[in-house]
Homo-oligomer: A and B are copies of this chain.
């Protein structure tokens, strides 16, 4: 066990590249600035997903622009020039003091959350975007919008971004005027029509937790049905492939930040499909890197190709397990 820990430790300084020199990026998902240092130590090359919910939860007053800015800049500074992807507020739960006009919804996961909430509370949204834009003046910050189901919502979010830039300019504050914009692909409709978003964005980021949830109509927080929440369902694999293909065809970068990205069993498959950035809990990055460094891109492509032929989640799982075992990649 110790030997294994040590081996994974040593990996943290080596690049995430295949035996034949194909390089991908490993990034960390974080909730707090305090997680950055340890993430970098575990081999993260930046922050692939900074969730901003903690800034809003458990308090009575809205976090101000300056307060948010301070937190975002902290993340930027701790990452030392590496990229930081910030997701705008993605709230889906019981009502909070800021969203008082929110009605009770019988199915909150299918309700006013993510970008829908952002666009319903424009002032809260604009304050957050302004803080993110300002942090962008201090490093390589990108912004990403959650729960987009159609191009129109993304356009509206970008209009807000432009409005925020205008206001910052008028206020004479420093900000990044060319911040990269990402689409968080987590609604099946966005995955199915991924290519339609290309002209509007700089990068794709696949959020598999929600994508699986909607694609299979399974609330994974419900104990009675969560065994049905299978990321390796052939339908999910087809959607992931569709997004990656759309990114490739349009020359955009494509990342994944759902749990699937941190699951070593899926690494060969995702690598073979053409995923460029794996964003996951920092603790899982060394294992992901180990898998990547153990294979060639050609092998990974072969695995992806064969996995896509299979017709049941269990078959895909068994096949990937077998491919891992045959390479002595156990976890």
User: A residues bordering B, Cβ < 8 Å?
Assistant: 102-103, 105-112, 116, 120, 147, 149-152, 187-190, 192-193, 196, 210, 213-219, 221-225, 228, 230, 233-236, 238-239, 311-314
Q: Is A225 in contact with B106, judged by CB distance below 8 angstroms?
A: no
Q: Is B110 in contact with A218, judged by CB distance below 8 angstroms?
A: yes
Among B188, B221, B312, B313, point to the contact of A217 (Cβ < 8 A): B188
Q: What is the minimal beta-carbon distance from A277 to any residue of chain B, in angstroms?
A: 24
Q: Is A110 in contact with B225, judged by CB distance below 8 angstroms?
A: yes
- For the complex with contacts A111-B224, A112-B224, A188-B188, 17 further pairs of A-B residues with Cβ separation under 8 Å are A102-B224, A105-B222, A107-B108, A107-B221, A109-B110, A110-B217, A112-B222, A116-B228, A147-B217, A150-B228, A150-B233, A151-B311, A189-B215, A189-B216, A189-B235, A192-B215, A193-B235
Complex A-B, nearest 6 residue pairs according to Cβ-Cβ distance, in ascending order? A189-B235, A110-B219, A192-B235, A107-B219, A188-B188, A107-B107
- A314 neighbours in B (Cβ, 8 Å): 152
Inter-chain CA distance A234–B188, complex, in Å, is: 11
Inter-chain CA distance A314–B109, complex, in Å, is: 24
Q: Is B224 in contact with A120, judged by CB distance below 8 angstroms?
A: yes
Q: What is the minimal beta-carbon distance from A236 to any residue of chain B, in angstroms?
A: 7
Inter-chain CA distance A313–B150, complex, in Å, is: 8
Residue of B nearest to A194 (CB): B235
Q: Is B216 in contact with A111, judged by CB distance below 8 angstroms?
A: no
Q: Is B213 in contact with A188, judged by CB distance below 8 angstroms?
A: no
Inter-chain CA distance A188–B314, complex, in Å, is: 19
Q: Is B109 in contact with A108, judged by CB distance below 8 angstroms?
A: no
Q: Is B219 in contact with A111, judged by CB distance below 8 angstroms?
A: yes
Q: Is A239 in contact with B107, judged by CB distance below 8 angstroms?
A: no
